[in-house]
A and B are shown apart, each in its own frame.
Chain A
Amino acid sequence: MSYLIIGSSSGLGRELAYTFAKNHNNLILVSRDERDLIPIKSDIEQKFGVKVKIIELDFTSTEDIEKKILLQKEMLLNLEGVMFPIGLMFEKDDLRLGDKEVSKILYANYLSIGYTIENLKHSYSDKNFLIVGFGSVSGLLGRNLNNYYSAAKRSLESHFESLTFDNSKNKLRIHFYTLGYLDTNLAFGKKLSLPKGNVVSLANIVYKNKNKKIVKKYFPFYWSIIALILKLTPLTIILKFKKLLKN
């Protein structure tokens, strides 16, 4: 039994790797820089005695995904699930962002995830299989920062909703978590008006929920209330409070 974790070199991905390894699951860890995966592999193998395979790939490239993951049929034989704790951001992600960067953001945060799920079918059809996606509260509302990132995350959420509908009658388990800022490096140095979510707690929640058929949650929990308010409030009113939405 093994789990594939895309984006596992730091933050939530790293924590998920430890949580699943602690519970005796083998892992396939994927990241852009192998140097960050090697220490995680050795540490986990030494501490928990599970097998860890590491793959360095560029998740914005479908060719790379095909070559290093999808065509590795033997590696995927005992796959129990796939998780996508991945996020690619650029500092100046506004409406004037260059085409190349936009493409990278869209692929890493949305299109490559959809592509991987679709093309992994041979590994999970007829199987009790887990797919976990992670959105962002930035996708709740388009703003004048993280434009393409939030658009990609909103699309991803929609994609997971479609997956849930499409697979409602089979054994596939589709989970989607919409995340606020976590206490990881992505939020390091940022002054936030709301408290950061604890990444260890989140990894434990993902693990505990792993056998549920459908999960759709906000983390930290208070974002579910904020999301509801934002969804019910007309955009004209929201614009009057835009200073509050800076973060």
Chain B
Amino acid sequence: METEKKKLFSFDRNFSAIVNFTKPAKFKELEKISKSEENFINVGSNLSYSPLSFSEKSISISLNGFNRILNFDLKQKEITVEAGITLAELLNFTLNNNLWIPQLPGYPFITLGGAIASNAHGKSCTIDGTIRHSVKSMRIFHKKNGWLNLSENENKDIFELTLGGLGLTGTIVNVTLSLQTITSTNFLTKKYEVLSLSECIKMVKQKSKNKKSFIYSWNMANNLSNLGKGIVFENTMSDDEKNINFNIPTKRKIFLKPFFSTWNKISIAVANKIFLQLHNLSKNIKKEDFIDVIFPYYGKESYFNFFGKSGFIESQLLIPDNNIDEFLEEFKYLFKQHAPVITLLSFKNMSGEHSLLRFEDNMICMTLDYVNNKKNKLFMSEIDKLCVKYNILPSIIKDSRLAKSTVEKCYKNIGEFKEKIKKYDNDRSYKSVMSEKLGI
């Protein structure tokens, strides 16, 4: 089985490595490569913000040829697919049978295997939690342990480790998903103006109680006086389509990256103003289609490209209800002191139960995109201290900058994950830059 040298970047472009890359097309090839002495790590579409799919010391295994539908049971609402299938390919089949999984991260070219390894969530996370809730069973291949069937009833421990396990338990090859009925690919989007962070949080919490629509916000963070001003969106699915016939593009568009970041205080202020004005001028209720709502980054890839070659840093924080006011007060104080350059601030409510390495809980989820510079990193390191102080969970999947010490303090169950995975694979055959950084 051939490997080729390839330079891989984390999506936030903070990490890169020239790695040995391989793309088995047959089962025998997947098995053959495991006889190599080297370590491995799985790569889906290599779209994770953190460096989860490569390491100089590991062979990156891509399963993008393993993207087929193995079984579909319309009555039981179940589908078995290979893990290299992209969300677009999966939905193009299920939507036309009026079925889907609702826990979809915001970009259609992410592979199902990647979404499961990162326990992805989407806009529906208040109602449906993370993707693990849709996974009924899996079949994985592990260098030492061979082929394993995983489910609640079979190898349960490894099943749990694999859901949100950053691809460290082996290569996810097949997945059986429980599907849900979808009534339409059309959404009605309502907008509510908010003038401060606290008003926004209150609105997000209140609207999220409805559990029938997707609630999230867009907030300004270009300066202290604007901090928190913005819009809360409410997407409600229509029920006007009897037979859905919807196609999601399956090919990615390629955009050129400028050498330097075009996001700065001025350009962000201008972009925010234009965005807000456009929304003020448009109707408070409008129709949107599936791609606009579920895959908001599709067609808007330039937003990330504007960060240039040096990339950006995304931070996602799960904040407990009882600490959110104190946290936001200190956040504002630090914001005043450091004046960070933030391109995106957003809130949504999340449901679930945090365990192992999984980023999920019944908390408010705050997302921030930072321009990659020293000043911002200093601000973020101060926020890290607040995470420890207020029992906030920062996302390992999103924030490649997180230090081992911060993660160990915030992820109370990381020790359990390490212990279990060591027991399962004493040699720790699957390693990425991020797993090595976190000492997993």
**Cα separation A14 to B25 with both chains bound (whole Å):** 10
Task: Among B2, B26, B71, B82, point to the contact of A10 (Cβ < 8 A).
Answer: B26
Kindly list chain B residues whose C-beta atoms are within 8 Å of the C-beta of A47.
69, 93
Interface membership of chain B positions 316-355, coded 1 if the CB is closer than 8 angstroms to chain A and 0 otherwise: 0000000000000000000000000000000000000000
Q: Tell me if B68 and A11 are in contact (CB < 8 A).
A: no
With an 8 A cutoff between CB atoms, is A9 at the interface? yes
With an 8 A cutoff between CB atoms, is A42 at the interface? yes
Contact (A39, B93) CB under 8 Å given A10-B25, A184-B25 = no
**Beyond the given A14-B25, A189-B22, could you list 9 further A-B residue pairs with CB under 8 A, ordered by the A residue number?**
A10-B26, A33-B26, A35-B27, A36-B26, A36-B27, A42-B71, A46-B72, A188-B23, A189-B3
Contact (A43, B26) CB under 8 Å given A188-B2, A188-B4 = no
Residue of A nearest to B20 (CB): A189
Task: Pick the 10 closest A-B CB pairs, nearest first.
Answer: A189-B2, A43-B68, A189-B4, A10-B25, A39-B68, A185-B25, A35-B27, A46-B69, A43-B69, A36-B26
Chain B contacts with A in 6-50, Cβ cutoff 8 A: 22-29
Q: Footprint of A on B, CB under 8 Å? A: 2-4, 22-29, 65-66, 68-72, 82, 93
Interface membership of chain A positions 181-220, coded 1 if the CB is closer than 8 angstroms to chain B and 0 otherwise: 0001100111000000000000000000000000000000
**Cα separation A162 to B236 with both chains bound (whole Å):** 67
Q: Tell me if A42 and B69 are in contact (CB < 8 A).
A: yes
Kindly list chain B residues whose C-beta atoms are within 8 Å of the C-beta of A38.
70
Q: Tell me if B65 and A10 are in contact (CB < 8 A).
A: yes
Nearest-neighbour CB distance to chain B for A4, whole angstroms, equals: 20
**Cα separation A121 to B25 with both chains bound (whole Å):** 33
**Cα separation A136 to B68 with both chains bound (whole Å):** 29
23 contacts between A and B (CB under 8 A): A9-B26, A10-B26, A33-B27, A33-B28, A36-B27, A36-B28, A38-B70, A39-B82, A42-B68, A42-B69, A46-B69, A46-B72, A46-B93, A47-B69, A184-B25, A185-B23, A185-B25, A185-B26, A185-B29, A185-B65, A189-B2, A189-B3, A189-B4
Q: Footprint of B on A, CB under 8 Å? A: 9-11, 14, 33, 35-36, 38-40, 42-43, 46-47, 184-185, 188-190
Kindly list chain A residues whose C-beta atoms are within 8 Å of the C-beta of B28.
33, 36
**Cα separation A107 to B368 with both chains bound (whole Å):** 62
**Cα separation A31 to B26 with both chains bound (whole Å):** 11
Kindly list chain B residues whose C-beta atoms are within 8 Å of the C-beta of A39.
66, 68, 70, 82
Q: Tell me if A190 and B2 are in contact (CB < 8 A).
A: yes
Nearest-neighbour CB distance to chain A for B119, whole angstroms, equals: 25
Kindly list chain A residues whose C-beta atoms are within 8 Å of the C-beta of B93.
46-47
Kindly list chain B residues whose C-beta atoms are within 8 Å of the C-beta of A190.
2
Of B2, B25, B71, most A-chain CB atoms within 10 Å: B25
Q: Tell me if A43 and B25 are in contact (CB < 8 A).
A: no
Nearest-neighbour CB distance to chain A for B350, whole angstroms, equals: 34
Nearest-neighbour CB distance to chain A for B69, whole angstroms, equals: 5
Q: Tell me if B25 and A11 are in contact (CB < 8 A).
A: yes
Residue of B nearest to A32 (CB): B28
**Cα separation A39 to B69 with both chains bound (whole Å):** 7
Nearest-neighbour CB distance to chain B for A13, whole angstroms, equals: 11
Q: Tell me if B26 and A42 are in contact (CB < 8 A).
A: no
Residue of B nearest to A40 (CB): B68
Kindly list chain B residues whose C-beta atoms are within 8 Å of the C-beta of A14.
25
Residue of B nearest to A187 (CB): B2
**Cα separation A95 to B71 with both chains bound (whole Å):** 47
Residue of A nearest to B24 (CB): A185
Nearest-neighbour CB distance to chain B for A11, whole angstroms, equals: 7
Residue of A nearest to B26 (CB): A36
**Cα separation A185 to B2 with both chains bound (whole Å):** 8
**Cα separation A35 to B65 with both chains bound (whole Å):** 14
Nearest-neighbour CB distance to chain B for A218, whole angstroms, equals: 24
Kindly list chain A residues whose C-beta atoms are within 8 Å of the C-beta of B70.
38-39, 42-43
Kindly list chain A residues whose C-beta atoms are within 8 Å of the C-beta of B72.
46
Residue of B nearest to A36 (CB): B26
Nearest-neighbour CB distance to chain B for A30, whole angstroms, equals: 14
Kindly list chain B residues whose C-beta atoms are within 8 Å of the C-beta of A42.
68-71
**Cα separation A189 to B66 with both chains bound (whole Å):** 19
Kindly list chain B residues whose C-beta atoms are within 8 Å of the C-beta of A185.
2, 23-26, 29, 65
Residue of A nearest to B21 (CB): A189
Kindly list chain B residues whose C-beta atoms are within 8 Å of the C-beta of A10.
25-26, 65
**Cα separation A190 to B22 with both chains bound (whole Å):** 12
**Cα separation A244 to B28 with both chains bound (whole Å):** 33
Kindly list chain A residues whose C-beta atoms are within 8 Å of the C-beta of B24.
185
Nearest-neighbour CB distance to chain A for B345, whole angstroms, equals: 42
Residue of B nearest to A46 (CB): B69
**Cα separation A39 to B23 with both chains bound (whole Å):** 17
**Cα separation A120 to B23 with both chains bound (whole Å):** 36
Nearest-neighbour CB distance to chain B for A18, whole angstroms, equals: 10
**Cα separation A197 to B301 with both chains bound (whole Å):** 29
**Cα separation A39 to B71 with both chains bound (whole Å):** 9
Nearest-neighbour CB distance to chain A for B200, whole angstroms, equals: 44
Nearest-neighbour CB distance to chain B for A226, whole angstroms, equals: 24
Kindly list chain B residues whose C-beta atoms are within 8 Å of the C-beta of A9.
25-26
Nearest-neighbour CB distance to chain B for A43, whole angstroms, equals: 4
**Cα separation A10 to B63 with both chains bound (whole Å):** 13
Nearest-neighbour CB distance to chain A for B19, whole angstroms, equals: 13
Nearest-neighbour CB distance to chain A for B379, whole angstroms, equals: 43
Kindly list chain A residues whose C-beta atoms are within 8 Å of the C-beta of B65.
10, 185
Kindly list chain A residues whose C-beta atoms are within 8 Å of the C-beta of B71.
42
Kindly list chain A residues whose C-beta atoms are within 8 Å of the C-beta of B4.
188-189
Kindly list chain A residues whose C-beta atoms are within 8 Å of the C-beta of B68.
39-40, 42-43
**Cα separation A9 to B22 with both chains bound (whole Å):** 18
Nearest-neighbour CB distance to chain A for B76, whole angstroms, equals: 15
**Cα separation A40 to B67 with both chains bound (whole Å):** 10
Nearest-neighbour CB distance to chain B for A143, whole angstroms, equals: 20
**Cα separation A40 to B24 with both chains bound (whole Å):** 15
**Cα separation A233 to B366 with both chains bound (whole Å):** 70
